[in-house]
Amino acid sequence: MTDGACLFESPQETTRLKVLVVDDDSLIRSVYREILEGIDCLVEEASDGRGAIELFRATPPDLVLLDLIMPGIDGFETCRTLRQLEEGRTVPILVVTGLQESAAIHRAYEAGATDFIAKPVQADLLAYRALYLLKAGKTFNALVRNEANLRLLRTAIESLPIGLTITDRQGKITFVTPAEAKMHGYCTEELLNRDVRILAPPRLHNPAAGKRSETFVAWCRESVNIRKDGEEFPVQISSVAVRDAEGTFLGVISSCEDISERKRSETLIHQFAYSDALTGLPNRTLLMDRLKNALAIASREQRSVSLLFLDLDNFKDINDTKGHAFGDRVLIRVAERLSACVREADTLARFGGDEFIIVQLVEEGENTASRTAQRILDAFRRPLDIDGERIDVGFSIGIACYPQDVQDLGGLLRSADTAMYRAKALGRHNYQTFAAEMNEEVLEKVALESSLRMALDNGEFSVAYQSQWDLQRESCCGVEALLRWSHPRLGEIAPQRFIPLAERGGQIHSLGEWTLRHVCGQASSWILAGLPLGRIAVNISGHQLNRPDFPRCLAGILAEAGLAPAHLELEFTEKVLMADAGKTIEILQALKDMGVKLSIDGFGTGFSSLSYLKHLPVDRIRIDRSFIAGIGHDCGDEAIVKAIITLAHNLNIRVLGEGVETREQLDFLRNLGCHEAQGFLFGKEMGWAEIEMSWRENAGFSEGLDLQWSVPRT
Ligand code: C2E
Ligand code: CA
Ligand code: CA
């Protein structure tokens, strides 16, 4: 051997099997060595039992050749001791014995001997016997190792959190892990030998499941499984076919994972990204997605997409008067009621704030959108019940259709929005379908809105005055101030048009303040001039009333103008006063305490609870002119007028009929004891100079009116 060979064992040497030869006769040992090296074994020798045990401990051999009769520890004892060693349990021990009696053989076998060979030993017999035992020992060791590995594998499989099943080629379960059984609410025994389809809901049973086996290789997918108690749950299943070396199908191994938790978090994430947190409806992002899809389908399949743009009519008021938390509850209720009005295939989304959008994919020429809109309008005629409080909401709805009205997504939204504005302009709680000429109108509206912002600075506003008459004294008792806007290009613009714009744009505050300052200044100078003004009434928007500093601001204006508060009357609409009972009464009381007069404008239209009226510190109610207009031909209107006047008498509140145009109306009111009246019969509103002139001339009113009424002399 070279030095190098000492350092590195030759590759054969590592694979050569080692035999430990134990015999006290050195000659016999060398004979054995010869024979064994002849079959390529590595031989170690021990001359007695103690030496054998030591060598064995140091490097366990693959086979022990053991003599029985030896000095010191004999072969029986040596065998027993080796068998007690950790490595000695499985090594074959071949006993070479000259003792022929069966008793010795039996003892050696008891001590752990594997096999026996008789002395004198025949060389080839020993060689074959040794070879056989070495081979058997190797196989046995491998078996033991395999068994240990199998046990390990089984423990590993059984402790996996995912389930595992093995089925035979008929789909019968031949192996199932406790995790799999538990996941499905069974114990393993209940599942063994059952058809694997017991784990899937019947509706998912594949009648061809057995057939696929021949070609089946593997699949992995999400599915639904069913528990013993019938509860279904989502799973992730991977299956692979098991085949033998010839490729014959033997069965399937499947792993199964309960993914309920993952599904729940996926759903949550989806909800978060795609639905509106308040109402749970699809949000803008999801809407845009669906809309895009719908347009794609429509153009592919020659169908149409209708888009309904919905805007709550009075949401800002509700929010302003009742607070945001209340407003939120209103939106939730609105969303619920809307949901009940659409078909399952439609998309109902919250577009933002108080805007909702419905997308419908329909057959060309189908008129589903108008029917849906009408259904919504009908559904919202009933008030909402919010914490026991009845809240009226209305919708303005605009409808546009693809491809009839527009050819792209942006256009569809814009057109529906335009139609919605049109619906708002036409008096709310109605729907309008898009028409091309609407665009112009909306442009004009936008222009109006922006010029409104400049109008105050440009001095485009003025105030007109309309007189009010005391029907008992037959004399003028006051005037109502009415705001006028003279647009440099568009001319006179009616307050019904610009007041809502100013309310929406927020200019109502500066505009209202300007009006009060102007009117109070005017009134003060009339009183100084000794003219018989009586009182001067100013219309106040709900938005102004809701400003907490309104009373303080008003006090400042009165002081600045030097006007006694008793000359000023503030007119509020019934709706404004009804909005938030507690808060409104408080503010009204503060105003009343300042000494100004309060009246309810347009009384009868806001569905006032009449009993509520007696809690309001008002001085006057003004019967809405729509009821006055019905006098003489509408007994319903007449009945209402009569009831309001009676009520006012009972509550000791002054009552005024507005919009009186005919003698008949005047007489009707007068006969019922209505205190005051106002209207074209007495005269239209006029500029300050004209009304001043009429007072100075102590004029009677309206030619043809044979009353000799006049301004009281000062
Ligand atoms: P309103 O308070 O009911 O005002 C009376 C309206 O009725 C006035 O219209 C007046 O021209 C009209 N009118 C008077 N007599 C008759 C009549 O015999 N027959 C008919 N058909 N109409 C008559 P105007 O000036 O267009 O005002 C409309 C509304 O605009 C007012 O209704 C009021 O709610 C609002 N408004 C006017 N000025 C102001 C203001 O300074 N501030 C606020 N917030 N609103 C205002
Ligand atoms: Ca008024
Ligand atoms: Ca009125």
Reply yes or no on whether the pLDDT at 581 is more than 70. Answer: no
| CA 340 – CA 379 distance, rounded (Å) | 9
Side-chain-side CA neighbours of residue 323 (13 Å) = 4
Instruction: Provide the 8-state DSSP code for 130.
Output: H
CATH class of 2-155: alpha beta
**What band does 709 get if pLDDT is binned at 50, 70 and 90?**
low
Task: Quote the percentage of the chain above a pLDDT of 70.
Answer: 92
C-alpha distances (whole Å) from 411 to each of 57, 365, 406, 436 are 92, 20, 6, 12
In angstroms, what is the span from residue 573 Cα to ligand 1's centroid?
Answer: 12
**What band does 452 get if pLDDT is binned at 50, 70 and 90?**
confident
pLDDT, position 211: 53
Please give the number of the atom of ligand 1 that sits closest to the Cα of 538.
41
Lowest mean pLDDT among 106-120, 186-200, 241-255, 430-444: 430-444
As a whole number, mean pLDDT of residues 694-708 equals: 57
Reply yes or no on whether the pLDDT at 102 is more than 90. Answer: no
Start-end of CATH 3.30.70.270 domains in the chain: 268-434
Q: Is the CB of 225 under 6 A from ligand 1?
A: no
Residue nearest to atom 45 of ligand 1 (CA): 539
Q: Is the CB of 502 under 6 A from ligand 1?
A: no
Start-end of CATH 3.20.20.450 domains in the chain: 451-702
C-alpha distances (whole Å) from 488 to each of 454, 462, 491, 510 are 11, 13, 6, 20
Query: How many residues belong to the chain?
Result: 714
Q: Is the CB of 516 under 6 A from ligand 1?
A: no
pLDDT, position 474: 86
Reply yes or no on whether the pLDDT at 16 is more than 60. Answer: yes
In angstroms, what is the span from residue 629 Cα to ligand 3's centroid?
Answer: 13
As a whole number, mean pLDDT of residues 176-181 equals: 92
Reply yes or no on whether the pLDDT at 464 is more than 60. Answer: yes
Q: Is the CB of 494 under 6 A from ligand 1?
A: yes
pLDDT, position 658: 96
- Over residues 38-57, the pLDDT tens digits come to 989 999 999 999 999 999 99
Contact 217, 241 (CB under 8 A): yes
pLDDT, position 124: 83
List residues, by chain if needed, whose CB lies under 5 Å from ion ligand 2. Answer: 539, 571, 601
In angstroms, what is the span from residue 481 Cα to ligand 2's centroid?
Answer: 8
Reply yes or no on whether the pLDDT at 8 is more than 50. Answer: no
| CA 357 – CA 350 distance, rounded (Å) | 6
Q: Is the CB of 422 under 6 A from ligand 1?
A: no
Higher pLDDT, 54 or 436: 54
pLDDT, position 145: 85
Give me the amino acid identity at 507: Q
**What band does 316 get if pLDDT is binned at 50, 70 and 90?**
confident
Reply yes or no on whether the pLDDT at 233 is more than 50. Answer: yes
Start-end of CATH 3.40.50.2300 domains in the chain: 2-155
Nearest to 76 by CA among 118, 113, 25: 113
Reply yes or no on whether the pLDDT at 612 is more than 80. Answer: no
Residue in 479, 507, 520, 539 to alter for ligand 1 test, most ligand atoms within 8 A of Cβ: 539
| CA 370 – CA 304 distance, rounded (Å) | 14
Tell me how far apart the terminal alpha carbons of the chain are, to the nearest angstrom.
Answer: 148
**What band does 11 get if pLDDT is binned at 50, 70 and 90?**
very low
Please give the number of the atom of ligand 1 that sits closest to the Cα of 602.
3
As a whole number, mean pLDDT of residues 425-441 equals: 80
Q: Is the CB of 507 under 6 A from ligand 1?
A: no
Reply yes or no on whether the pLDDT at 613 is more than 90. Answer: no
Q: Is the CB of 415 under 6 A from ligand 1?
A: no
pLDDT, position 533: 87
| CA 652 – CA 655 distance, rounded (Å) | 9
| CA 401 – CA 289 distance, rounded (Å) | 17
Side-chain-side CA neighbours of residue 50 (13 Å) = 3
Q: Is the CB of 622 under 6 A from ligand 1?
A: no
Q: Is the CB of 680 under 6 A from ligand 1?
A: yes
Please give the number of the atom of ligand 1 that sits closest to the Cα of 515.
41
**What band does 172 get if pLDDT is binned at 50, 70 and 90?**
very high
Reply yes or no on whether the pLDDT at 705 is more than 70. Answer: no
Start-end of CATH 3.30.450.20 domains in the chain: 160-258
| CA 603 – CA 626 distance, rounded (Å) | 10
| CA 699 – CA 692 distance, rounded (Å) | 11
Q: Is the CB of 482 under 6 A from ligand 1?
A: yes
| CA 171 – CA 228 distance, rounded (Å) | 19
pLDDT, position 122: 83
Q: Is the CB of 466 under 6 A from ligand 1?
A: yes
Reply yes or no on whether the pLDDT at 12 is more than 60. Answer: no
What is Dmax (Cα atoms) for the chain?
164
Domain 451-702 has CATH 3.30.70.1230: no
- Over residues 339-373, the pLDDT tens digits come to 999 999 999 999 989 999 999 999 887 888 999 99
Lowest mean pLDDT among 233-247, 381-395, 428-442, 680-694: 428-442
Contact 278, 331 (CB under 8 A): yes
Please give the number of the atom of ligand 1 that sits closest to the Cα of 540.
44
Q: Homologous superfamily of 268-434 in CATH?
A: Reverse transcriptase/Diguanylate cyclase domain (3.30.70.270)
% helix, strand, coil for the chain, step of 5: 45, 25, 30
As a whole number, mean pLDDT of residues 1-23 equals: 59
Place of tokens 């590195």: 8
Place of tokens 């200019």: 507
CATH class of 160-258: alpha beta
Residue 43 in tokens: 């031989």
C-alpha distances (whole Å) from 303 to each of 202, 297, 349, 400, 630 are 37, 7, 21, 14, 49
Q: Is the CB of 14 under 6 A from ligand 1?
A: no
Q: Is the CB of 686 under 6 A from ligand 1?
A: no
pLDDT, position 242: 86
In angstroms, what is the span from residue 574 Cα to ligand 1's centroid?
Answer: 15
Mean pLDDT in the chain? 87
Q: Across 136-273, where does the E strand assignment appear? A: 163-168, 173-176, 218-226, 232-243, 249-258
Contact 587, 547 (CB under 8 A): no
Side-chain-side CA neighbours of residue 315 (13 Å) = 21
Q: Which ligand is nearest to the CA of 624?
A: 3
pLDDT, position 604: 82
Residue in 461, 467, 482 to alter for ligand 1 test, most ligand atoms within 8 A of Cβ: 482
In angstroms, what is the span from residue 379 Cα to ligand 1's centroid?
Answer: 32
Q: Which ligand is nearest to the CA of 626?
A: 1
Higher pLDDT, 442 or 154: 154
